[in-house]
Amino acid sequence: MSVVILDAGPNGVVQFDGSAAAAGYILRSLTGWLGSTSAKVDLVERSAGDGAHDVVDAQILYSARTVSVEYRLLPYGADDRSTLLAMQTRIRSLLHRQIRVRVVDADHDLTATGYVDSIDVEQGAQNMNRQFLTGQINIVCPRPELCSTDMQLVQLLPLDGANEGEGLRYGDKLETWWEGEPNNSVSVLSITPGDKGLSYPIDYGDATLDGRNRGTLTNHGGSPAYPLIMVEGNWPHGIDVQINGQYSLHYELPVSAAAPLVLDFRSRTASINGTDVTRYLTQRGFAPVAPGSSVDVVLRSSGDGFVTVSMADTWM
């Protein structure tokens, strides 16, 4: 049976156990988790012909998710009404907070974020031995996606070297020949400045195949996933990240170590310390990762820091 954890931050974590031998915070049922929410699709009826006009995948969106946790409070030990009320007070402390709902069930460990819409207490009862209380917590999750608790992470580093990616280097033209009689000649060296001669020793630039500036994430879920990019350190020329060789995210202003830059694919925004700076993005390639597909991320900026890309497997 499932374990449901409601996490509202420090001093606001309540765990409900669905096992048969459970006591304390007991999970009786969980609804609104395994199913989907209602689709938000506006059909346009055909004026000539049967049915409505076709709907493309991008138009199939879903409403908010409502999760209901039905519980029973059964204090450990002796019949203690004050303990029972204290347990219910702890549940009521989830109000006025953002709630992270985590459900651990068999092979799945998924989360969603929302708020408590209501807490309904069904009955307070007393049998011959124990006192207990039952109720239900209704949680609305504006984002209906269920995301894997274990995030996939890759960390990208800037490549070293001033000549990275420049290939062969050219400079002054050098020419040499012999003057005089055989076995009694003088070697002559001529230098023509700026005539695009090949510079020695030959340098092909730093290797770019060590993977430090490249990472791949795979969405194993059944719904589109949205990566999150965190840029930390000093980047005097801004940030340029390439996505799957097709899209780019280019932030044109410098980034300092005191104020990390966050690029959110879900909201298609850039922010620093909670302030929206999306207007400074000259390229906005916020492409979601389709179910069963991968995203290849390449850092193409020089600086002193690192870029962390995170993504969770996502289901609807």
DSSP secondary structure string for all residues of 241-264: EEETTTEEEEE-S-B-TTS-EEEE
Fold classification of 152-163+209-315 (topology level): Jelly Rolls (2.60.120)
Helices (H), the chain: 81-92
Instruction: Determine contact, residues 156/212, Cβ cutoff 8 Å.
Output: yes
Measured from the Cβ of residue 277, the count of other Cβ atoms closer than 10 Å reads: 17
CA 127 – CA 208 distance, rounded (Å): 72
The architecture that CATH gives domain 3-144 is: Beta Barrel (2.40)
Beta strand pairing call for 228-234 and 304-311: antiparallel
From first to last of its 316 residues, what are the pLDDT tens digits of the chain? 688 889 888 778 888 887 766 678 888 888 998 888 888 888 888 888 888 888 888 788 888 999 999 988 887 765 667 778 888 888 888 899 999 999 988 888 899 999 999 888 876 555 545 667 788 899 999 999 999 988 888 888 886 543 344 344 445 566 666 677 776 777 766 666 555 555 555 544 444 444 578 888 889 988 999 999 898 888 888 888 888 877 888 888 888 888 898 988 888 888 888 888 888 888 888 888 889 988 888 888 888 888 888 889 999 8
Q: Sign of torsion, CA 32 35 41 46?
A: negative
Tell me the Ramachandran region of residue 58: left when phi exceeds 0, alpha when psi lies from -120 to 50, beta otherwise. alpha
**Helix, strand, coil % in the chain, rounded to nearest 5:** 5, 50, 45
Three-class DSSP category at 8: coil
The answer to whether the beta carbons of residues 113 and 141 sit under 8 Å apart is: yes
Question: In this structure, are residues 227 and 215 in contact, taking their beta carbons and an 8 Å threshold?
Answer: no
Strand order in the sheet with 261-264: 152-156, 304-311, 228-234, 261-264, 269-272, 275-276
Q: Where are the domains of the chain?
A: 3-144, 152-163+209-315, 168-202
Cβ-in-10-Å burial (0-12, 13-18, 19+) of 124 comes to middle
